[in-house]
Structure 1
């Protein structure tokens, strides 16, 4: 199995198995004792019922099984509670260590880690993967090991009475602990991979197309998108139904196998302990009833084995971090202070994400001069946002170069924020005061500077009217402010930082036309003299730009000034008509 191969090379989980081996052993022992008490309770109960039905001459003849029944009846929930307490404590200690190790890796490699991983990957590592490791032990490792221990104990116990039946029982139990779990992995493993792939595809397509929903509407292709979305959903539902159907058949087989085991015990005990009343015949019910509480120990093994397919990716990603060397790509510490004029040059740039060979950008070449206003247009998925990440140094080109004054942007490291600022679609405001939110741009900004910059972005009157002015606490994510107001606060940060280059990553995509136009005019006025790179879906406000480029399928298709394109380019004319609502479908 792949997961065992991963464990052999694992550097994240295995070290902690030795560190907490005493707690691990204690948890497994308590788990075994839980099911032992459950089986022993039924064993003694069966014996007690049979013995009592034989009308014993003296109560002392059933006194011991009465006491044992009460003892095992109390012991089962007690051991269950202690097992849960111990196992969860062990797993929580393990995951705590894993999170600490992960944070240290991310912090150490933060400067260049973003070059190889997208934000979603990092969030997946921080939350999903660690949770999967936690479930790996609670839902797979512990139940499987306890079931194996019970199998060995049952076979040895039966071997005391009958060696040949112990071997028969070993065969029947191996079907439960080995054959059925293996079938679960083999039958549903490929389906789970396909299910995961379809979910990722559905999430990616849904996210991209919601952000670019205006493109679908303007191009009158909304029905086409819905059909495409429904097609993926139908495939996902089909795979999910197949997995559930397979699980149903397998679980039915498990129950039938337990029925076979119960019948086998009944037949064997009848032969092993012959008699009509009392004596050895009292053991028949004891041996038959003991199997039923053990079903709870063996039944979860199939789902536990099947879930190993889910855990493999988590182990791969975590161990993949261990192979990343901090020395592969360190920001240069010897880069001197860059001086104006600031020129961005993109030369034969191509890019694809590490896990996808599809070219997001292909052989892109352009130059952005100091103080130039450049608009980048293109439909959803054309590569605009990826280009913005490359311009900011969050990603490194797969091929070609992207330089600021002759220095690779990715080599600037954290100092890139001194030269390039970004205003995103949904600027984030932290749950602290307005002044603290603004000082993210400049920690040393004075109160007077804060009021000055608020006046420049048109928010001074609003902040003045708030109960505590600059010290008013902003709700989480800035929900007390409208979309336009959050963008103005983001602009205020940029102005306090005073970066020479500003990337506007579709900041007006969710605003109404009047607010959008007002915000665009504020951006252009307050950022006068700075280099502006505006990524947008809309054509509103493009007349204020010096140059417009279109990216299609990762390639630069059209470029020129707004006036040139409006007079000579048919595609641009068509987009203008659509944007103004004048386009008529023939």
Structure 2
């Protein structure tokens, strides 16, 4: 099938499970084959029984065996069908559960960089639709096509026992159904199926993005444009679906016409070969009816084949994500047993893949236990990149970053216990205040959580709410203001109790008064922690021990706030501007 070899050349999602569960797969295919063979045998036996009974035999004993066989095949078919469905779905669901776990782990390992390559809607599509497509690959393509091919061989060989010329004619007719029609489906309808899936993915991504900005659409008075934008994609998808249904209707008709020709072939042949005696004439109806039950898998084969391009894209996408996660796998891991004493950055340089100019150039610094460091600089100077390097989300192009002498790449399994992060928009889940804060330490008691909330100054607010600590924060924490969300996240960090805290511009969206109160709270409750604080301006700079200005990938100014105020005119001017003073000094 088109692209089959290329798709599975380095596949780690489909073929390994087929090999691992090959005996269970064999059982599923056997049960599926027996289902249709039982159905065919029931029709074959029924045709013989009806013909025999129509001749009014002198005794029921003459047709007793066909009567018993009719009951036996009638029972066997639903039993095999139930066992096949139970076994196949149980197998597929077990595999899919493992798929989902692997996919979530792959997303987790690339969590920091995945947003650079995937939009929110695209990521949701990957987590939902692509796994469903791989599940359908088994249920709607692999099983029907293999069972269809097996039935094709059984029919041709079975008829060949009686007449090879007729068997060859059936091989030609049924070959059109099991070989030619699937290829035609892939060639003509596969592109349409793929385009439909592609449009749905784009629509999913686009709609997610636009729903997130729905307020701005409404405020700007462009609600009509918003709706028109969606209708365009919906209309195109609907048009493709109509064409798809039209094609399926004609394909189904063609399959049934070809199948009818095969039935007529059997009828003509059996009518010629088994009418020499009255007794042998009973076989005519038997052969003519035996073929009817197998039309179901024959019809499913073409549809399963036409969906292959969709499945192929999904397999490719999850394999690409898995490869990205594998590339980000860390080195052999170690565990720190001693308390953190120093974080050292030693002559670090970093260049983004594909870029020529390094974003960081020969950076060195040491942050000792309990020290507070402020990293300042304009946007695009490498502050966020340096944070990624510090926690191990990226590896330096040159130089090393160590914690207690151990490179960060070897401490990734321990990272959650070493670093706490409070960034610009910490996420609060649509659950209770208690559950959101407890994410910092799942083992924390209710009293521990309440103590953390009290430490960040939110106890009066939370206890004044009707449901108190069981108040739902709503999606993304919309129940609370920006400053309150930051304080809840700070309480989460307190429970986490990591020795090093990263503050990535946590006050950027707050007003000056709220910003001052939050910074005072942060540095008070985290007084015993090592803090690395990224900021754009100097509000609250009195709380830190070191200041580093990062510009054009290098440290431009460094020292204590007092030293820089005394010796650096630029620092003095920025500080006085932040304090609302009349800064008149120049560089």
TM over 0.5: yes
Distance 1:347 1:325, change over 3 A: closer
Per-residue displacement from partner, 1:280-327 (whole Å, max 9, x unpaired)?
Answer: 322222222222211122111112112222322343345443686568
Look up the SS of the partner of 2:281 in the other structure: helix
2:71 paired residue number:
70
Question: Match of 2:313?
Answer: 313
Q: Equivalent residue for 1:549?
A: none
CA distance in 2, matches of 1:208, 1:409: 35
* CA shift for structure 1 position 167: 0.6
What is the match of residue 188 of structure 1? 189
Determine if contact 1:143/1:301 at 8 Å carries over to the other structure. Answer: yes
Find out whether 1:427 has 2:424 as its counterpart.
Answer: no
CA distance in 2, matches of 1:234, 1:507: 42
Q: Aligned partners of 1:444 and 1:51: how far apart in 2?
A: 76
**Which residue is equivalent to 1:490?**
489
1:448 positional shift: 8.6
Once the two structures are TM-superposed, the CA of residue 71 in structure 1 deviates from its matched residue by 1.4
Return 5+ residue gaps in structure 1 as ranges: 353-358, 378-385, 509-514, 536-541, 547-559, 565-586
Partner of 1:511: none
Q: Partner of 1:260 in structure 2?
A: 261
1:550 corresponding residue in structure 2: none
Counterparts of 1:526-541 in structure 2, within 5 Å, are 526-527=521-522
In the TM superposition, what is the alpha-carbon distance from 1:193 to its structure 2 partner?
Answer: 2.7
Once residues 40 and 252 of structure 2 are traced to their aligned partners in structure 1, the CA distance between those partners, rounded to angstroms, is: 22
Aligned to 1:236: 237
Shift, 1:30, TM fit: 1.7
1:294-309 to structure 2, matched below 5 A, reads 294-309=294-309
**Secondary structure, aligned partner of 1:279:** coil
**Whole-angstrom CA distance in 2 between matches of 1:331 and 1:211:** 40
Contact 2:374-2:534 within 8 A present in 1 as well: no
CA displacement, residues 228-248 of structure 1 (integer Å, 9 cap, x when unaligned): 443333333333333232222
1:411 to 1:85, Cα distance in 2 relative to 1, 3 A: closer
Q: Secondary structure at the match of 2:114?
A: coil
3-state SS, counterpart of residue 427 of structure 1? coil
User: Tell me, what secondary structure is at the counterpart of 1:62?
Assistant: helix
Residues of 2 paired with 1:160 and 1:459: CA distance? Answer: 85
Separation in 1, partners of 2:20, 2:446: 53
Q: CA contact under 8 A between 2:391 and 2:419: conserved in structure 1?
A: no
Shift of 1:47: 1.8
**Aligned equivalents of 2:223, 2:433: Cα separation in 1:** 42
* 1:134 alignment partner in structure 2: 135
TM-score (norm 1): 0.68
**How do 1:244-283 residues align onto structure 2 when only pairs under 5 Å count?**
244-274=245-275, 278-283=278-283
Distance 1:475 1:303 in 2: 46
Distance 1:98 1:78 in 2: 30
Equivalent residue, structure 2, for 1:44: 45
Q: What is aligned with 2:31?
A: 30
- Provide the rounded CA distance (Å) in 2 between the counterparts of 1:144 and 1:128: 22
Residue 372 of structure 1 and its aligned partner are, at CA, apart by 7.4
Indicate the residue corresponding to 1:117 in structure 2: 114
Answer whether contact 1:42 1:289 (CA < 8 A) is retained: yes
* Corresponding residue number in structure 1 for 2:585: none
Match for residue 177 of structure 1? 178
Q: How much has 1:4 moved relative to structure 2?
A: 4.2
Once the two structures are superposed, the pairs formed by residues 245-394 of structure 1 within 5 Å of their partners are: 245-274=246-275, 278-320=278-320, 321=322, 325=326, 330=331, 371=374
Distance of 1:313 and 1:29 partners within structure 2: 29
Report the secondary structure of 1:234's partner residue: helix
Q: Specify the alignment match of 2:453 in structure 1.
A: 454
Residue 197 and residue 404 in structure 1: after superposition, are their counterparts in 2 closer, same or farther (change >3 A)? farther
1:81 aligns with 2:82: yes
Note the C-alpha offset of 1:14: 3.5
Distance 1:463 1:124, change over 3 A: same
Query: 2 CA distance for matches of 1:267 and 1:244?
Result: 34
Separation of aligned partners in 2, 1:222 and 1:365: 44
TM-fit CA distance, 1:388: 12
- CA distance in structure 2 between the aligned counterparts of 1:422 and 1:322, rounded to whole angstroms: 30
Structure 1 residues 312 and 294, CA gap change in structure 2 (3 angstroms): same
Native 8 Å contact 2:453 2:491 kept in 1:
yes
Secondary structure of 1:300 counterpart? helix
CA offsets, 1:391-433, max 9 Å, x none?
99796599999x999x999999565996672456573348688
- Displacement, 1:166? 0.8
Structure 2 gap segments, 5+ residues each: 364-371, 525-530, 542-572, 578-587
Matched positions, count: 520
Q: 1:418 to 1:15 in 2, by over 3 A?
A: closer
